[in-house]
Structure 1
C-alpha cells in the first residue's frame, strides 16, 4: 500500500509567464519560492503554510481549455480564511467568478479562472446556520 503524507504540489500550464505570475501574486496573494533551473520557463509558489506548492509551467501545447467556469472540470482548490472577503477582493479586481455559498460539500465555494482559463476553487468554512464564513 502507498502511504501518502499529503499533497506536495499541483502543476498547471500557462502561456505567458509574467501575466500568470502577476495573477497568482496579485489576485491570490501567493509567494514565489525558489525553483530549480529547468530548461523551460515557469515559477513555483508556496500555498499556505504547510508545504503545499503550485507550479506554473509555460507550455505551447494544445492542452488549455477554451470554455468558461465549469466546477466539474479539472481544477485545484485553495482554502481561504474568509469567504466574503474573498468575494469582495475578486470583485474589486474585476475577476469573474461563480459563488456557491451553501454547497452540499459542507464548505462555501468560489470558482474562477486564471488568465489561461485554468479553473481555481476557493473555499471556506460555512457558518453553522448554513451561511458562508
Structure 2
C-alpha cells in the first residue's frame, strides 16, 4: 500500500496552492526538518509531501516517477472544478474496470492521474 508521495518542486508555495485548489488537500503538521517543505493532508493523512527541488530540464534517460495517481470520488464535480479553475485536462473511460480517469499537469509539469471508481459515464457528458 502506498503511504505517501514526495514531490520535489522549484515552487513550494505554488505547488502547495495547486494541490489545495484542485484536490482539496490541506497543509498540516510536518516535523521540524532542517529543510523547508509541506505535508499535504487528505482524509486526515499526509499523502503528498513537498520538498525543494531545482528546475531541471527533462531527461528521458534519468530515472523518475512518470505520474502520480489519486483515487477520488465525484468525477463530474472534479471536471466542473477543473473547468472553473481554467485547467486543461484529458479524460479516459475504462468501462471494463468500471473507471473513469482525468489527466492534468501541475503548473510545474507533474502529471496527475485522477481515478474515479464510484461513477458511471453520463451519456450526456462528452469525454
How far 1:29 sits from its partner (Å)?
0.6
How far 1:104 sits from its partner (Å)?
5.0
Kept in 1, the 8 Å contact 2:25–2:42? The answer is: yes
Pairs within 5 Å for 1:4-43: 6-43=1-38
Q: Distance in 2 between matches of 1:40 and 1:116?
A: 20
Task: Indicate the RMSD between aligned Cα atoms, in angstroms.
Answer: 2.2
**Structure 1 gaps, min length 5:** 1-5, 67-72
Residues 1:119 and 2:111 are matched in the alignment: yes
Residues 1:55 and 2:49 are matched in the alignment: yes
Q: How many residues align?
A: 116
SS in 1 for 2:23: coil
SS in 2 for 1:90: helix
Kept in 1, the 8 Å contact 2:99–2:116? The answer is: yes
Change (3 A) 1:12 1:65: farther
SS in 1 for 2:116: strand
**Structure 2 gaps, min length 5:** 60-64, 123-127
TM-score, normalised relative to structure 1? 0.75
